[in-house]
Each structure stands twice: as structure tokens, then as C-alpha cells.
Structure 1
Amino acid sequence: MDFNMKKLASDAGIFFTRAVQFTEEKFGQAEKTELDAHFENLLSRADSTKNWTEKILRQTEVLLQPNPSARVEEFLYEKLDRKVPSRVTNGELLAQYMAEAASELGPTTPYGKTLTKVAEAEKRLGAAERDFIHTASINFLTPLRNFLEGDWKTISKERRLLQNRRLDLDACKARLKKAKAAEAKATCEGDTVPDFQETRPRNYILSASASALWNDEVDKAEQELRVAQTEFDRQAEVTRLLLEGISSTHVNHLRCLHEFVESQTTYYAQCYRHMLDLQKQLGSSSLSTACLAWTLTGSSAREATRRARSRSPTWNCSAKKAPSQAPAHSGLGGRGWGDSPATCLSGTKLLRVGSLAPFCPCPR
């Protein structure tokens, strides 16, 4: 128990010393040990690598799984070390709906046959998408995630330790500087010859004793500085080696990027082949004829009927009135058309608007 209390008190003292040093550095009241330019470049490159790796990882996850709820669910499964359940892709779900629609609307009809063919193609697209997601997750996302959760955590830990070692080193430097200043002041006071008529001998003895104490304090501060400098140099070397390992990380990520592009190329090539086959099936002559016949029996049949009726030779509503024979249309009363309602050859009454000549409303 005593040992733990001593260790706790020692840790609290170290933490307080670091906090004081850090605060004084922020306010410009203490000197700070600067790292060399090469080391600073390594730190900057490591930070950039970490930031861009996070952005690329998040956006690739969005590309592979646009649904945010599904991404959160997969993240929880990974954190709980549980297997992520298989999920139906959008293409496979669309294929399922099309197949059910074809079964209910009639699989032997042209529309049902087309739905069946498209459903099979969408199912193959969904399977290709599933393979692409699986391959990209293993070959691309996993290495990026391993870097962030493994190597980068180690680098961050060593950087924090280096920061603490630097604060300890600068605190030792400040302590040694203050000790030397106090020693010099005590030495100056001790070198002065006392006037025993004005100064008591006891003050002179105390001054000499203080000078000896400050000499011991300087020796102790120098020893602590040497230890702190050694620990700082050792930690700086360890951190430097880890930061230089970022180059190998870039090489690994480059290889993973090539594999991701390869898998994406394979996926889109498969999609192109599947859609090309489907286009050939839908563009066949028998299917086109069936679709045309089905269209003509539907809403377009009315348009065909109207065109056929417009070409009928039995309609003749443009006959002119002749004096020697009955007119094709009886008059509407006035202007030589007679008093009885005018009709065409089919028996439909002619219409008259204002002073215009009567016209036949029959479809032509």
C-alpha cells in the first residue's frame, strides 16, 4: 500500500510538472525543444496519410453500401466480433419482384416472358455486385482499416510518449537554469567579505550553506537532465522508425488500390456482358413481333381502327346541291339548304356554326 501511494504521488508530481511546462510553452514563458525538419516532415506526412485514409475508407464504404443504417449495423457486428449476416442486394431484390410479377400477371404472355428474362439478368447483376462488395472489402477496405486501427494507433501512442519525454526534458532544462541562476546569486553573496560590525556572522554562515545547497541542486538537475535527454533521444528514434514505415504503408495501399481497380473492372465487365445478352434477347424478331401484336391489341388498336374507318369509301359528306336531283344533304333552313334537318349519307345530322356551311361530325 505504501509503495502504491508513493508511486501515485510520484506520477502526480510528474503530471503536474508536465502541465506547468506545457502551459508556460503555450504562453511563451518557457523554451521548447524543437524537432529537426526531417522529423517534422515525417510527422506531417503521417498525419496526411491518416486523414486521407479515413476519408477514402468512409467514401468506399458508402460506395459499396449506400444505406447508412446497414453500414451502422455492419459496424456493430464487427465491433462485437460477430459474423455479418448476408444481405440481399438491390438487384437481387428487384429480380425477385419481377419474377413474382411475371408469375402473377401470366408467365406465358409477352409481358410476363419479358419480366422473367429481365429478372434473370437482374439476379445475375446482383450476384456480381455481391462478389464485388466481398472482394473489395477484403482486398481494399480491410488493409485500410488495419492501418487505422493497428499501425496508426501504435504511432499515436509513441508520439504521445515522445511528447511527454520532451516536456520532461524541457522541464529539466528549466530547473537546471533556475538552479544555476540561484547558485550564481548565492556564490556572489558568499564571496563578499562580511563586516562583523554591521553583519552578523550567522548570516555569512547561512549564505555559505545556501551556496553549497545550490551546488548540490545543480548537480542533481544536471543528472536529471542527462537522464531525460537519453530517454528523449531513445523515444525520438523509436518514433522516427515508425514514421519512416509510412513509406511501406503507401506501397501496401498502392497494391490494394490496384486490386480494387481490378475487381471493379471485373464487376463492370460482368454487368456489361449480362446487359448485352439481355439486350440481344429482347431485340430478337419473335419477341419484337409478339410485343407489337400485344401493343396493337391494347390501346393502339383503337388508333388502327380509326385509321381504317377514315379510309372507308362509303362516307360522302361533300355532295353539292344540284337543281335536277336531290341533294346529298338537306338544308338547315335558309340560304338554299331547305327547311328539313340536313343529314349525310350515313344518316348523321350535319352541324352548322353561325354563318358557316354545315359540316359532318363523322370521323374521317
Structure 2
Amino acid sequence: MNFNLKAAGTLISRAKQFTEEKLGQATDRTAYDDNFDHLLLDADRAKAWTERLISNVSIFLQPNPNERLEDFILTKFDQKTNKQNIVEQLGQCMVEAGNDFGSSTQYGSTLIKCGQTHQKLGHIYKDFIQSSVMGYMQPLKSFLEGEMKSITKERRTLEMRRLDLDAARSKQKKNKMLSRNNNTPVAMADSSDADVRHAQAEFERQYHITRLALDGLPNAQNHHLSCLFDLIESELQYHQKSVQILEELHRKIGLSKSIPHASSPRLRTAIIKFDYEALDSNELSVLAKETVNIISDGDDSDWVTVEKQLSKQHGRVPRAYLQIDASLS
């Protein structure tokens, strides 16, 4: 019974202290040191960004929100599904269309080959999702459910211990003021001093526990870095396998010869023979031995419009000042 009364008294004092702080009536609030405040900010940052990373990687792996919800529900009920993904569905559609058109026709046989290829792509995409979830997302989720939840719990306990300490100090301060007026028994003043010592010891103990938990954050981030490397490695392997499968399809359907790309015309260039100072806004100042691109060379026999290669400034320069590259004429 005494224990319950004491616990109730502690809760009341804690609530009173919290209310006074919120209303700005409490002036003596125990402050943490700058380094500890920095650790608290690091923890908040780690929690917020880890949650956002998990969310965005989930969207990256499964853009369809309905599919994500279904996967989440099945995971919660520990049920596995062999449901086809969109790549496999496309592959199956192509195979069925090819068979209907006839595997003996060129279009039908090509559709079948493309469909089989997309089914392979769908399979390796599933493997990529699985490796990404197990190698990156799951460790981050475990961090939130384990270390971060523990840190949050210890921080909450520390805040309660701080409120208890500040409430005890406030009570001690009031009793000392009353004792000066001879209105408070000595026993009551001694009791408030003992309460402060007890609250101080509990606060320091919880402060040490919380700090140990916060100091472990760099180790967690090192682990997350390793998991990030695994994610990139899985993504690289997925794309490499995809390229191999598509190159195999490329050969099977007779597209092994490389498709020629239209080459973009090379710009004509010229070397400046002498320094030239522009006389108006249509002209361009250039220096001897500078290389420029020729923009226009046919409107005026005495002038050529050129462009500087770095600054991209352009303007007219006398033809006599240019040594034009004849190989591209």
C-alpha cells in the first residue's frame, strides 16, 4: 500500500513538473550537455531516414501500392505466394499469343521466344527482390524494431527521471524558503534533501544507460553501409543477368548484327591566326592560337560566325584571321 502511494505521489509530481514546463512556469530545468544533445539529434536523424529509406526501397522494388499491401498482409500471416509478377505475366501473354498465331510462323515463334525470355527476366527479378529484402530492408527493419526501439525506451525513461529530479529540486527549494521563515520542520527539509539525492542518483544511472545505447549508433550505421553494398551488388548482378538473357534473345531472333547508329556531323573548327578585338556586339573577341567552332561560313565571304569551345560565346570574326580545318570542308 505504501509503495502504491509513493508511486502515485511520484506520478503526480512528475505530471506537475511536466505541466509547469509546458506552461513556462518551471525555470530550473536540468539540461543535457552539448555532446549528449548531439547524440539525441543523431538518433532522431537515424530513425527518420531509416524509415524513409525502407519506404522508398519498398516502392522501388514494388511500385504498385496494392501489390505492396498484399505482400505485407501475406508476410504478416506468414504465407507465401507464387503469384506472377508483371514481367512474368507479359512473358506468359506473349507465349500464349505466339502459340495461338502458330509456332510455325515467324511472328508466332518470335513471340514465344520473347515470352520465354521475359519469364526468365521475371524469375531473376524475383531473386533480386528477395536478396534486396533480406540483405538490405530486413536489417534496417530489425534496427528499428530492436536498437532504435530500445533507444526510444531508454530516452523516455531518462526523461521521466529528469522530471523526477527537477520536481524534487523544486520541492527542496520551496522547503528551504519556508524553513527560513521557520514554517517548515527540519525533518521535512531533510526528507526533501534525501529525495533530491535519490532522484539525482536515478537520473545519472539512466543517463549512463541511455548514453551507452546512443553510442552504439555508429556501429549500426557501419552495418547498414555493409548492407547497402550488398544491395548494390545484388542490383548489379540482376542487371548483368538481364543483359545476358536479352543478348541471348537478340541472337535467337536474328538480331545479332549491330544496328548502325546515325553519326552526328562533326563541327568544323578553325585556329585563330591573330588576336582580334570585337568592334560591336555582333563580333567576337578572340586570341591567337585559340581553337573555335565554325557556326556559319556561307553568308559573307569576308566574315565567319564562330563559337568558343569552352564559354560557348559566339560572334563574327574576319575570315582572314582564321585557319580553317580543310579536312571537314
TM range (shorter): 0.7 to 0.9
Aligned residue for 1:104?
100
Cα drift, residue 7 of structure 1: 4.5
- Separation (CA, whole Å) in 2 of partners of 1:104 and 1:49: 55
Task: Tell me the SS of whatever aligns to 1:230.
Answer: helix
1:165 aligns with 2:161: yes
AA partner of residue 44 (structure 2): D
TM-score where L is the length of structure 1: 0.68
1:44 to 41, 46, 68: 41
Please, which moves more after superposition, 57-66 or 11-20? Answer: 11-20
Where does structure 2 lack aligned partners over 5 or more consecutive residues?
A: 257-329
2:142 to 127, 140, 146: 146
2:172 to 166, 172, 176: 176
Q: Which runs of 4+ in 1 moved over 6 A?
A: none
Aligned residue for 1:308?
none
Change (3 A) 1:217 1:75: same
Please, which moves more after superposition, 153-162 or 273-282? Answer: 273-282
Aligned residue for 2:297?
none
Aligned residue for 2:294?
none
- Percent of pairs identical after alignment? 38
Aligned residue for 1:272?
243
Q: Deviations over 1:47-102 (max 9, x none)?
A: 1011000000001011111121222222233334x133233121111111111111
- Separation (CA, whole Å) in 2 of partners of 1:107 and 1:238: 71
Where does structure 1 lack aligned partners over 5 or more consecutive residues?
A: 187-209, 286-364
- Separation (CA, whole Å) in 2 of partners of 1:136 and 1:104: 37
- Separation (CA, whole Å) in 2 of partners of 1:94 and 1:238: 55
Task: Tell me the SS of whatever aligns to 1:44.
Answer: helix
AA partner of residue 240 (structure 1): R
1:135 aligns with 2:106: no
Aligned length: 256
Task: Tell me the SS of whatever aligns to 1:85.
Answer: coil
Change (3 A) 1:284 1:151: closer
- Separation (CA, whole Å) in 1 of partners of 2:217 and 2:72: 26
- Separation (CA, whole Å) in 2 of partners of 1:7 and 1:223: 17
- Separation (CA, whole Å) in 1 of partners of 2:145 and 2:80: 19
Task: Tell me the SS of whatever aligns to 1:253.
Answer: helix
TM-score where L is the length of structure 2: 0.75
- Separation (CA, whole Å) in 2 of partners of 1:174 and 1:163: 16
Cα drift, residue 28 of structure 1: 2.1
Q: Higher relative contact order by CA 8 Å / sep ≥ 6: 1 or 2? A: 1
Aligned residue for 2:67?
70
**Structure with the largest fraction of strand:** 2
1:257 aligns with 2:254: no
1:243 to 192, 206, 214: 214
Give the RMSD, CA atoms, in angstroms: 1.7
Aligned residue for 1:358?
none
In the TM superposition, what are the counterparts of 1:2-13 in structure 2 within 5 Å?
3=1, 6-13=2-9
Cα drift, residue 10 of structure 1: 3.5
| 2:17 and 2:167 in contact (8 A); partners too | yes
Cα drift, residue 8 of structure 1: 4.3
AA partner of residue 35 (structure 1): Y
